[in-house]
Amino acid sequence: MTHELVLGLGGTVDFEIAWDAELLATLAQQYRITRADLDVTAPVRDERDLVCSILAFLDADSGGEKFVASSQLGIEFAERFDYQITLGGTCVRAALAIAKLGVPSLVHLVSIDDNVRRLLPAGIDYLCSASGDSLDPHVIVQFPAGASVAMLDGEVRAVHPNRIIYVNDPPNRDLVLSPELPTVLAGARAFLPSGFNVMRDQELLADRIAFLQQAMTRLPAQAVVFYEDAGYHDNAMREIVSRDFRGRIDVHSLNEDELQSYLGRRVNLLDLDDVLAALDEFDRFAIAPTVVIHTKYWSLARGARAGEFEAALAGGIDLASTRYCYGDNFTVSDLNAVRQLDVHAGGAEFCAAIRARLGQTVRCVPGRVLDVPRPTTIGLGDTFVGGFLGTLVYGPLGAESQSEEGTC
């Protein structure tokens, strides 16, 4: 069977923790945590480190992804909270989002268990390289806008909603690739490679990249290879990918947190000169001739093929916005309602300014005005990828009725 949209490279089981500021404050008190303990770069070796890490990200008003000492540490921490079990990984969340709109895909998995079999819907086919079942959940903490937690010496507070992911996932860390992958790529119109970020063995990473480079020679000439970056647990791995994973990659995509991680500094996303400087700085890391940046205010494509991707940018923004407003259970009607929302004024002004400065080498689409009390911040980048690639391959997603009320 031919699959036009092949999404890889590894899915996950996610434990999504319900935000509980009181419980976190109790843990901060119990562990005698102060501001001096907060460092988003510090290792997470035990539960005290994990609480410190959450509070540090909250204080930095930022999301991110962190390696933890063991998957059991994450499981035991999640058991303190209310949580739900979902499927994650960029490829799987992208596939789940577009499946709701009737768009088929094939995902490449490196682990499987009964949670995956139960939650993966019809319309999503899969390859799996695993030799047996395993469970190493990704523990995800999402916090709302204005979230605050009291500590011994004050409180930490976030302005914007975001999420933090805590991971120790051996199957994704090894990222064994199915020998069937080259065959399915032969019929693909788009291929998503993502997931190198949790790897920690340089020789294994080099082996996986070599396998993929050979596998991608089976792709049709017109197929688009869309590499979605992510928060690397070990920056040495990121450097290897930047050096070796090149050639057949058409698009290098990343979100604002990942861009800032590469640069080692904050970027004012509504300041044209600051963003242009950031794009120029990122050029030395980019592994494709076209770079896509997706943010809360706008999403842009810059480079050789930017002009081909304007509709796909809009498709990614609108699908991610729908998930932000309605969570996992959104409908086609919800998507069409989001399409009627106003665009962000600052984002629109920025898009006009960057197009005036860079001309045909850039396409920029503003985000929507989204105002909901309990937004979903998990998987927004993954959903953007699904909307982008689904639109690129199949055209506008969902019903095109313009009769829905624009409320969110």
**What pLDDT sits at residue 401?**
38
The span from the CA of 55 to the CA of 70, in Å, is 20
**What pLDDT sits at residue 304?**
86
**Percent of the chain predicted with pLDDT > 70:** 97
Which CATH architecture is the domain 14-85+135-167 placed in? 2-Layer Sandwich (3.30)
Which residue matches tokens 């689409």?
365
Question: What would the mean pLDDT of 165-185 be, rounded to a whole number?
Answer: 96
Question: What would the mean pLDDT of 386-396 be, rounded to a whole number?
Answer: 97
The span from the CA of 152 to the CA of 199, in Å, is 36
Question: What would the mean pLDDT of 6-35 be, rounded to a whole number?
Answer: 97
Whether the pLDDT of residue 405 is over 90: the answer is: no
Edge-first strand order for the sheet with 362-366 is: 124-128, 105-109, 5-7, 190-192, 224-228, 251-255, 290-294, 298-303, 362-366
255 confidence band (pLDDT: 50, 70, 90): very high
Whether the pLDDT of residue 402 is over 60: the answer is: no
Question: What would the mean pLDDT of 54-77 be, rounded to a whole number?
Answer: 95
Give the residue from 66, 70, 45 showing the smallest Cα distance to 56. Answer: 66
**What pLDDT sits at residue 288?**
97
Cα–Cα distances in angstroms (integers) from residue 226 to residues 75, 211, 252, in the given order: 32, 17, 6
The span from the CA of 339 to the CA of 68, in Å, is 39
Whether the pLDDT of residue 386 is over 70: the answer is: yes
Q: How many CB atoms lie within 10 A of CB 75?
A: 16
403 confidence band (pLDDT: 50, 70, 90): very low
The span from the CA of 395 to the CA of 391, in Å, is 4
- Quick check: helix, strand or coil at residue 99? helix
Whether the pLDDT of residue 378 is over 90: the answer is: no
Question: What would the mean pLDDT of 373-402 be, rounded to a whole number?
Answer: 87
Give the residue from 88, 109, 133, 97 showing the smallest Cα distance to 6. Answer: 109
Question: What would the mean pLDDT of 13-22 be, rounded to a whole number?
Answer: 96
The span from the CA of 227 to the CA of 224, in Å, is 10
Q: Looking at residue 223, what DSSP letter applies?
A: P
Question: What backbone torsions phi and psi does residue 5 show, to the nearest 5 degrees?
Answer: -125, 110
Lowest-confidence region among 166-175, 263-272, 329-338, 373-382:
373-382
At 293-327, the pLDDT tens digits run 999 999 999 998 999 999 999 999 999 999 999 99
Q: How many CB atoms lie within 10 A of CB 137?
A: 24
**What pLDDT sits at residue 408?**
66
**What pLDDT sits at residue 374?**
86
Contact present, 38 and 223 (Cβ < 8 Å): no
Question: What would the mean pLDDT of 59-78 be, rounded to a whole number?
Answer: 94
Handedness of CA 243, 244, 246, 249 (dihedral sign): negative
Q: In the Cβ-directed half-sphere of 209, how many Cα atoms lie within 13 Å?
A: 24
- Quick check: helix, strand or coil at residue 189? coil
Helix intervals (H) in 147-255: 170-174, 181-185, 202-215, 235-244
Q: Please name every residue paired with 103 in a beta bridge, in sequence order, or none if there are none.
A: none
For the chain, give every domain's residue range: 14-85+135-167, 251-287+289-408
Amino acid at 279: L
The 3-class SS string of 344-398 reads CHHHHHHHHHHHHHHHHHEEEEECECCCCCCCCCCCHHHHHHHHHHHHHHHCCCC
Give the residue from 15, 16, 36 showing the smallest Cα distance to 156. Answer: 36
pTM of the model: 0.88
Question: What would the mean pLDDT of 45-50 be, rounded to a whole number?
Answer: 98
Question: What would the mean pLDDT of 101-119 be, rounded to a whole number?
Answer: 97
Which residue matches tokens 């994973």?
245
399 confidence band (pLDDT: 50, 70, 90): low
For residue 379, how far is the Cα from the chain centroid?
Answer: 6
Strands (E), 229-296: 251-255, 290-294
Question: What would the mean pLDDT of 349-375 be, rounded to a whole number?
Answer: 96
Contact present, 377 and 86 (Cβ < 8 Å): no
Q: In the Cβ-directed half-sphere of 139, how many Cα atoms lie within 13 Å?
A: 28
Token digits of residue 194: 């993502």
**What pLDDT sits at residue 232?**
85
Residues 351-358: contacts with CB under 8 Å, at least 24 apart: 351/298, 351/300, 353/272, 354/272, 354/275, 354/276, 354/300, 357/272, 357/276, 358/276, 358/302
Q: Are strands 190-192 and 83-88 parallel, antiparallel or unpaired?
A: unpaired
**What pLDDT sits at residue 139?**
97
At 333-345, the pLDDT tens digits run 999 999 999 999 9
Handedness of CA 303, 305, 307, 312 (dihedral sign): negative
The secondary structure element, H or E, covering residue 87 is: strand 83-88
**What pLDDT sits at residue 328?**
87
**What pLDDT sits at residue 406?**
55
Domain covering 251-287+289-408, topology: UDP-N-acetylmuramoyl-L-alanine:D-glutamate ligase (3.40.1190)
Whether the pLDDT of residue 365 is over 50: the answer is: yes
Whether the pLDDT of residue 363 is over 80: the answer is: yes
Amino acid at 171: P
Amino acid at 53: S
Which residue matches tokens 């909307």?
387
At 178-231, the pLDDT tens digits run 999 999 999 999 999 999 998 999 999 999 999 999 999 999 999 999 999 998
